[in-house]
Amino acid sequence: MSVRKVNEKEWTKDGRKYVYEGWYKDAFGKRKPYKSRKYLTRKEAVQEERVFLSSLETVVKMEDITFKELCDKHFDYKQNAKKVKVTTLRNYNKRQQHLEIFNDVKLSKLSIAQFDEWKKMMNETTMETSTKNDLYKYFRSVLHFGTNRYNYNFTELLNMMNNFDDPNESPKEMEFWTKAEFDKFISVETDLQFRAAFETLYYCGLRSGELRGLTWYDINFETKELSVNKNITVNLDGKKYVITTPKTKSSKRKLTMPDILVEDLKKLRKMQNNYCEFNNNWFVFGSYEPLGKSRLRDRKNKNCKLAGVKQIRIHDFRHSCASLLINNGANVTIVAHYLGHTKIDETLNTYTHMFKDKAEEVTRMINQLNR
């Protein structure tokens, strides 16, 4: 690097005429030219040159960065730039634990042989293929971050990598309740709050966090609609619960409620209104704090035993809602809206078998008409 005065024709209007320029090595040892902006005095240019060279000393060390350090930088960038939700950051930490074998590997030493060995290790676990592919996607996202942020070339490695595929793995059977099974389940529920909560899950297809995040501001009794606009998540930074935005933009939605749910919610609001500190910021299912996730699950398990119906997960109420809608003639657009899916393809891919049954019914009806 050197400081010099530029040609008089290049001076700025306020007299800035000194620059520093030369060659330097970037984070990965590549030699690159550099020319600074103009400064008013030689002394100012010299001082700025020192600052620039000092910063390079730190940057050059990037050529020795390990995979774990890149993961940490990826996490910090996403967190500081508020690129993702806190739940996603938590998933980053969980997934990174399954990539610890790469922690001390220098980026310049990452190889397809190491990746294949890691895949072999993962295939020896009991993880489902979808879970292993979540790890694979995270791995790739970190490498893409290194490419985009630090100009490291992972192109060749990324092109050789491929996801997990187990042709022998049986597809996981989707669990859901028919309307008759749900009626049997709800018939044993004696607590109004839990009754309304399970009805909301079944008739509206909410996720657990969306249900628990509902406040009375989100319930419109005049239009018989509920608004999904937030989510409750747990175990973040030691907090009891955290209020976040819904899973995706499409998860923000307004849903029409059936009369049976409207009536039970009216009764529930009237009951909560008896508390002197009640206000519309209260959670519909809970009070000034949301209903605990484990309480909802435990209540569901208890009712299943009492009613003599099969055990399903809280999340399976969404599948049950989809089944209810599809079997009663709702088209794919309506189903996607109720479930808050970003794309209709997601709904079709998840519930293909259900729509297939409806298509066969239509075919039978047409055949009867043509007889």
Q: What percent of the chain has pLDDT over 70?
A: 88
User: Which is it for the CA torsion 182, 183, 187, 191, positive or negative?
Assistant: positive
Residue among 64, 124, 118 nearest 95 (CA): 118
Per-position DSSP letters for 185-196, written without gaps between them: HHTT---HHHHH
Provide the 8-state DSSP code for 309: -
Residues 333 and 324: their CA atoms lie apart, in Å, by: 14
User: Is residue 169 pLDDT above 80, yes or no?
Assistant: no
Cβ atoms of 38 and 17 closer than 8 Å: yes
Cβ atoms of 101 and 135 closer than 8 Å: no
Question: Long-range contacts: 250-253, Cβ < 8 Å, 24+?
Answer: 250/336, 250/340, 250/341, 250/342, 251/207, 251/210, 251/340, 252/228, 252/340, 253/227, 253/228, 253/337, 253/338, 253/340
The pLDDT tens digits for 298-321 are: 999 999 999 999 999 999 999 999
User: Is residue 59 pLDDT above 60, yes or no?
Assistant: no
Provide the 8-state DSSP code for 223: T
Give the rounded distance of the alpha carbon of 75 from its chain centre.
Answer: 14
The pLDDT tens digits for 222-277 are: 999 999 999 998 765 567 788 888 888 889 999 999 999 999 999 999 999 999 89
Strands (E), 28-100: 31-35
Q: What is the pLDDT of residue 60?
A: 41
Amino acid at 319: H
Provide CB contacts within 8 A for 203, sequence distance 6+.
257, 258, 260, 261, 321, 324
- Report phi then psi at 27, rounded to 5: -60, -20
User: Which is it for the CA torsion 201, 91, 244, 335, positive or negative?
Assistant: negative
Beta bridge partners, 295, equal: none
- The mean pLDDT of 127-132, rounded to a whole number, is 91
Residues 143 and 108: their CA atoms lie apart, in Å, by: 12
- H-helix or E-strand containing 210? helix 208-213
